[in-house]
Structure formats: C-alpha cells, structure tokens
Amino acid sequence: MGQDESKAGTTTELENDIIVRLAANTKYTPEQIRSWHSAFLRDCPNGKLTSRQFVEVYKRFYPEAEAEKYSYQVFRTFDADHSGYIDFTEFLIAVNVNANGDVRDKLNLAFDIYDINANGQIDKKEMTKVITAIYDLLGEEHRKGENSPENRVKIIMEKLDINDDKHISRDEFVEGCLKDDVLRQLLAPNV
C-alpha cells in the first residue's frame, strides 16, 4: 500500500512518504531503500511476491529439502496484512529485522512464525506443525523416540510454558530463548 497505486494494483514507483517511513523504521537510508525496491521489482515486476514465488526462493537455498511447509509459515508471517502476497514494505521490514534486528526482534519474529493462528500464544499443535516443517526443511531423517517432533515439542513446552497453561506466550518464548542457548538454536537457529 502507499506505492504508486493501491496494494491491489501494480507498483513501479515508491512514494516519498513511504521512503521516509521506511527510513524511520529500518536501518536503511533512502538510497538503500530505493536500491532494495529496484531489486524487488526486478524479481516481482507487479510489486507482489506470491507464496509460490517465496517457496521457490526457499527451494533455491534448500534444494534437497522439503521447503514448502516451513516457507509457507515464514511467508504467512511476512504477509502482515494477510493479503496473500508480500508487498515491498512488508518485504523490507522483514529483511531489516533479519539483517539488522537485535536478538529480541528476531525472537519476536520467530514467535510469529510459530503462532500460526496469530492469537498471541503458541500451543502444542502449532509448535508440532512448525517443528515438523523445520525437520522437513533440514532433511532430518531421525524422527523416532527422543528425536520425534512430538517429543521435542513436549520438552520445549515443559521448558517455556512457565505458568503451565498449555500455551507459550510471547514473553515466555522470548525470555526462555534468551536464557537457554540450546533452545534458542532449536527454535530460532539464525538468532
């Protein structure tokens, strides 16, 4: 939204007020924002990055893996307005958090990936779905016994669900990952 036409339309130019807003909310200069925008339009000439395109990008990074499930969860998180595609503003905000965000910013983004229904809590079913998708992405073949997604989720829930309400809140997730490096590497490996 706010580019040369509404979000539903084709976008080719970035309005100055959008550049100013992005510069204020990211660590990028107006020149860098214009450069990112040009690159984005090269790959997405209509200004829309679809779920299918996003999955294809993940497949390039993980050619031997099943990238669809996990990349869909990431796509859903980046598509902040739930329009079914990522526009340039959503794209740059996500890139900024990944490249320039502090540990808390990145853990909050990771929380959003796990919080599939966006209700502010992660339940066992959501956690299992994402852990299974991560196993698929990484090509994890040993999924029995201790290493099963269900067992991993049980251990994670025991560690993070401090108030024992069968849900992990954003605070429980972030604070728990900050205190436990092993858990952080499992749940948010790039943080």
Going from the C-alpha of 128 to that of each of 167, 184, 187, the distances in angstroms are: 13, 16, 11
Helix (H, G, I), strand (E, B) or coil at 46: coil
Instruction: Kindly report the CATH class assigned to 103-187.
Output: mainly alpha
Look at the block and give the residue holding tokens 């958090």.
Answer: 97
- What pLDDT was estimated at residue 61? 80
pLDDT value at 1 more than 50? no
pLDDT value at 49 more than 60? yes
- Judged by average pLDDT, the poorest of 17-31, 72-86, 133-147 is 133-147
**44 Cβ contact list (under 8 Å, min separation 6):** 53
- What pLDDT was estimated at residue 118? 93
Over residues 100-135, the pLDDT tens digits come to 989 999 999 999 999 999 999 999 999 999 999 988
pTM comes to 0.81
Residue % of the chain over a pLDDT of 90: 68
Domain ranges of the chain: 16-63+78-100, 103-187
Q: Are 75 and 152 in contact (CB under 8 A)?
A: no
Q: How confident is the model at residue 145 (pLDDT cuts 50, 70, 90)?
A: confident
SS3 sequence of 152-186:
HHHHHHHHHCCCCCCEEEHHHHHHHHHHCHHHHHH
Q: Return d(Cα 3, Cα 15) in angstroms, integer.
A: 5
Average pLDDT, the chain: 89
Could you check whether 16-63+78-100 and 103-187 share the same CATH topology? Answer: yes
CATH topology of domain 16-63+78-100: Recoverin; domain 1 (1.10.238)
